[in-house]
Amino acid sequence: MNSRHLIILMALSGAININAQRTVQTLKNGWEFCRGDSFNESVSQKVTVPHDWAIYGPFDRKHDLQVVAVEQNGEAEATEKTGRTGGLPFIGKGIYRTVFEVPDTTSRTITLVFDGVMSNADVTLNGKKVISWPYGYNSFYAVVDGIAVPGENYLEVACENKDGQSRWYPGAGIYRNVHVVNTDKIHIPTWGTFVTTPVVTKEYASISLTMDIEGTYNRQNIRVETVILNPQGKEVAKASNVFCARGQEFTQNFLVNDPDLWSPRNPELYTAKTTLSVDGKDVDEYETRFGIRSLAYVPEKGFFLNGEPIKFKGVCNHHDLGPLGAAVNKSALRHQLDLLKDMGVNAIRTSHNMPAPELVELCDEMGLMMMVEPFDDWGFRPKSPNGYGAVFNEWADKDVSNMVRHYRNNPSVVMWSIGNEVPSQWGEPGINELMRLRNTVRQLDPTRPITCGMDQVGEGAVIDNGFAAALDIPGFNYKPQLYDKFYEKLPNRLILGSETASTVSSRGQYFFPIEFKDHNVVLHEGNQSNSYDNESCSWSNTPDLDFARDDDHDWCIGQFVWTGFDYLGEPSPYDTDAWPSHSSVFGIIDLASLPKDRYYLYRSKWNDESPTLHILPHWNWKGREDEITPVFVYTSYPKAELFINGKSQGMREKNDSTVYNRYRLMWMDTRYEPGEVRVVAYDNDGHAVAEKTIKTAGKPHHLVAIPNRTSLTANGEDLSYITIQVADKDGNIIPTDNRRVKFKVSGAGTFEATANGDPTSLLPFQNPEMDLFSGAATAIVRSSNSEGTLIFTASAPGVKPVTTTIEVK
């Protein structure tokens, strides 16, 4: 890269936040990237960061072919696995370069903060190595004083992904943000504060703010002034102290009267604004956002937030954003959380790795509790041959420390997990690893309990060997049928479903006859799973069993379902050599962010603010006339009557005769005839309170496009997810029309990506066309930096096109 080139890049480099004493520049634009060992200008491309080099594909069975025995599936012999990590080209090396400017380095400290680089990052600045960080999911930083220079600074980040490093699609490259933090030499360092709220009542709360101050010389006097701002930005408490700084931590204490408590319903956020000054001159200003809330895990009685009992209605999620890959985008995350909140979700488990900071910020703001988890592997007998286990011994403490220091001020984080289904659950080495992680976490944050996702419950494993007892909260992955036994044997007196269900279903795909197959693998032609939500894997079950445990015992503190969204990789039960099959079907919502039927089952149980009434399957079964086609209704109402073409099929009421009848209304013997299915729901007093109808659709007539948002921010990053379907002339959606649709975007935005939720589709996500799957696909559009109208058109042969507009402001 020549210097003229660099100056142009520099001008493009990203957002700068300035207060008087510190600036934070996020390096988004002006990066150059190439694959390979060394930078080759002739093949390099201009990219923006966050960037995921592998999501552009193409999909291919040859990528990361793994010959493994998946122990969790009970396999004893290694076999070839395709699509296990998504069938995308993430293995190999890549190099990124950019340049940023530092006005002056005199009396300044420059810190580079990386939110996450996948993986094995090697960072050099101005030709000098500044830091390496193997784990792709963690945030890390490097102070580059003495290396950063006034003027242009040349930053290079090399990374490498290895074969067999993962059990799912990890993404590739600088997939999270990079920041340049410029402070006075005397400053609060990265993640240098810790707020706790030791006493929380309705009337008052005590706040304790501990901080590090760096860059002082011995015994220097520093004035530290902190104001506490309430959610409306009004000052509600203040402290001003002079500390004689010699490298020790300082704590300031505050009383806040009449606090607005943080909870999923009211995610109220406070800010501690700290100003450091020396000899009357301000040198640093640091803001710590936090919430006031109390956590109590009470034996036998459950989990209490602000003194109120609350169960985890949680989901586990991997970090990928489907067709956007791993490249983080706040708008995409917000869309995920909006969908989950509407389902009634109140908690997220970041399985099995550290989240993007944007996700934690959103959970704080939107009111979702978090279980933050760092690892899928420890050092002892790791699951992935080239995964974290290879570096665990050297890196685990550093990784866990960064995680805890990064997120210990976030009120959404209510629990730390230290691992997932680690083979260390067996025996001595494992207990040592557990104690090591537990102690590191506890030392940095004594306020939150520690759990671990456990699955080894046989003789000699976690129940007997002290592993589960050493956790504050024992978290079990699956096996709800054994919870009573665990509860009786363990001293903890609480049980968490750290991972539940793993029901498999493909959106809108129905297979007959319908039988409930808990703990059994069922395979169908076309590598799809049944949308009647009656199938799981050998280790897993349908949602009903977990609902029952939560409903029946206070000591069950809730659950985290595997998973909220489908993700790239782990295409169980087609996780053998069943190519093409590259993404999971565990999700309640598919890879195109379209809810499956299962969404409404959870919604009917978990959303206690708005009622649910959902009918499945669709009613377009040409060729199945008069065949048994069961109808299920997922509803928050206790009973309902079903009509097919006006003929009553009888009333059903939720009851305890089977666990499925407890949560679903089912008509198992209904026969298909074209026309209309209507359901009328009744409340407990026998009043008809709601109804819903679905109809057999007629001939394809026109396309329908429904954006989730019709107004976007002109920041070049905001997204709208547009659902595309085919309708008949009366507007009935045709759930079986799978034609290819093409997209065009003009005006104030660009086409970003598309997906249809079909785990077997090999179409690239970035081309502006997609086959509908079960009658639907999603097109994602991105706002421009300037205001205007974004015009989106979808067209397909044989049906009328559709145009929709989105305002970009």
Catalytic residue annotation: 421, 499
User: What amino acid occupies position 319?
Assistant: H
In the complex, what is the shortest distance from the CB of residue 344 to ligand GAL, in angstroms, rounded to a whole number?
22
- 540 makes contact with ligand GAL (CB under 6 A): yes
Pull the structure tokens for residue 29: 């634009």
Q: Closest separation between CB of residue 778 and ligand GAL, Å?
A: 24
- How far is the CA of 240 from the CAs of 49, 280, 370, in angstroms? 40, 13, 33
Residue whose CB is less far from ligand GAL, 169 or 290: 169
Residue that has been written with the tokens 């409306």 in this structure: 232
Give the footprint of ligand GAL on residues 446-465 (CB under 6 A): 453, 455
CA–CA distance, 325 with 337 (Å, rounded to integer): 17
Residue of 562, 632, 663, 672 interacting with ligand GAL (CB under 6 A): 562
Minimum CB distance to ligand GAL, residue 779 (Å): 29
> What span, in angstroms and rounded, lies between the C-alpha atoms of 106 and 638?
70
Residue window 41-80: x/- pattern of binding to ligand GAL, with contact defined by CB under 6 A: -------------------------------x--------
- Which of 471/802 has CB closer to ligand GAL? 471
Site for ligand GAL in 520-539 (CB under 6 A): 537
CA atoms within 13 A on the CB side of 135: 30
Contact characters 75-104, ligand GAL, x per CB under 6 A: ------------------------------
Residue closer to ligand GAL by CB (options 586, 600) is: 586
Identity of the residue, 453 or 497, whose beta carbon is nearer to ligand GAL in the bound complex: 453
Query: For residue 178, which phi and psi values (nearest 5 degrees)?
Result: -125, 135
Beta strands, E only, 571-623: 613-616
Dihedral over alpha carbons 549, 264, 716, 24 (to 10 degrees): -120
Q: Does 420 bind ligand GAL (CB under 6 A)?
A: yes
The C-alpha angle with vertex 421 and arms to 418 and 426, in degrees rounded to 5, equals 100
Q: How far is the CB of 533 from ligand GAL (least distance, A)?
A: 15
Q: For the CB of residue 602, give the shortest distance to ligand GAL in the complex, in Å.
A: 17
421 in contact with ligand GAL (CB under 6 A): yes
Name which of residues 134 to 173 contact ligand GAL (CB under 6 A): none
What is the sign of the dihedral through the CA atoms of 344, 350, 355 and 357? positive
Who contacts 721 (Cβ-Cβ below 8 Å, separation ≥6)? 335, 593, 707, 708, 709, 778, 779, 780
Pairing mode, if any, of strands 450-454 and 413-420? parallel
Token pair for residue 669? Answer: 């013997």
| CB neighbour list of residue 248: distance below 8 Å, 6 or more residues apart | none
CB of 376 to ligand GAL, least distance (A): 7
Nearest distance, CB of residue 477 and ligand GAL, angstroms: 5
Q: Does 197 bind ligand GAL (CB under 6 A)?
A: no
Under rule CB under 6 A, residue 425 binds ligand GAL: no
| Rounded least distance, CB 319 to ligand GAL, Å | 13
Q: Identity (one letter) of the amino acid at 76? A: A
518 binds ligand GAL (CB under 6 A): no
Please list the alpha-helical segments (H only) found in 737-788.
none
Give the Cα separation of 417 and 402 in Å (integer): 14
Which CB, 177 or 317, lies closer to ligand GAL? 317
Q: Report the nearest approach of ligand GAL to the CB of residue 604 (Å).
A: 23
As a three-state string, the secondary structure of 140-157 is EEEECCCCCCCEEEEEEE
Query: Could you tell me the smallest distance in angstroms from the CB atom of residue 324 to ligand GAL?
Result: 21
503 binds ligand GAL (CB under 6 A): no
Cβ proximity of 114 and 141 under 8 Å: yes
C-beta of residue 594 within 8 angstroms of C-beta of residue 507? yes
- The token pair at 340 is 């989950």
**Can residue 502 be called a binding residue for ligand GAL (CB under 6 A)?**
yes
Closer of 212 and 566 to ligand GAL (Cβ): 566
Whole-angstrom Cα distance, residue 610 to residue 612?
A: 7
499 binding ligand GAL? (CB under 6 A): yes
For helices 392-407 and 428-444, give the axis angle rounded to 10 degrees. Answer: 30
Number of residues that bind ligand GAL (CB under 6 A): 14
Site track for ligand GAL across 276-315, x = CB under 6 A: ----------------------------------------
Q: Look up residue 300 and give its two tokens.
A: 């036998």
Nearest approach, Cβ of residue 192 and ligand GAL (Å): 33
* Residue number, 71 or 361, with CB nearest to ligand GAL: 71
Q: Which is nearer to ligand GAL, 294 or 384 (CB)?
A: 384
Asked if residue 211 lies in contact with residue 248, where contact means CB atoms within 8 angstroms, the answer is: no
Residue 375 near ligand GAL by CB under 6 A: no
**Choice between 377 and 673, CB closer to ligand GAL:** 377
Among 66, 105, 165, 477, binds ligand GAL (CB under 6 A): 477
Judged by DSSP in three states, 390 sits in helix
Q: Which of residues 573-592 bind ligand GAL (CB under 6 A)?
A: 586
The one-letter code for the residue type at 492 is N
Helix, strand, coil shares of the chain, percent, nearest 5, are 15, 40, 45
Task: State which residue has the least CB distance to ligand GAL.
Answer: 502
Give the pair of three-digit tokens for residue 555. Answer: 């000591």
Which one among 52, 156, 550, 570 touches ligand GAL, defined by CB under 6 A? 570
Q: Check if the beta carbon of residue 411 is closer than 8 Å to that of residue 388.
A: no
| For ligand GAL, the closer CB: 71 or 484 | 71
Phi first, then psi: what are they for 617, rounded to 5°? -85, -170
**505 binds ligand GAL, rule: CB under 6 A:** no
- The residue (of 398 and 519) whose beta carbon lies closer to ligand GAL is 519
> Under the rule (CB under 6 A), what is the footprint of ligand GAL?
72, 420-421, 453, 455, 477, 499, 502, 537, 540, 562, 570, 572, 586
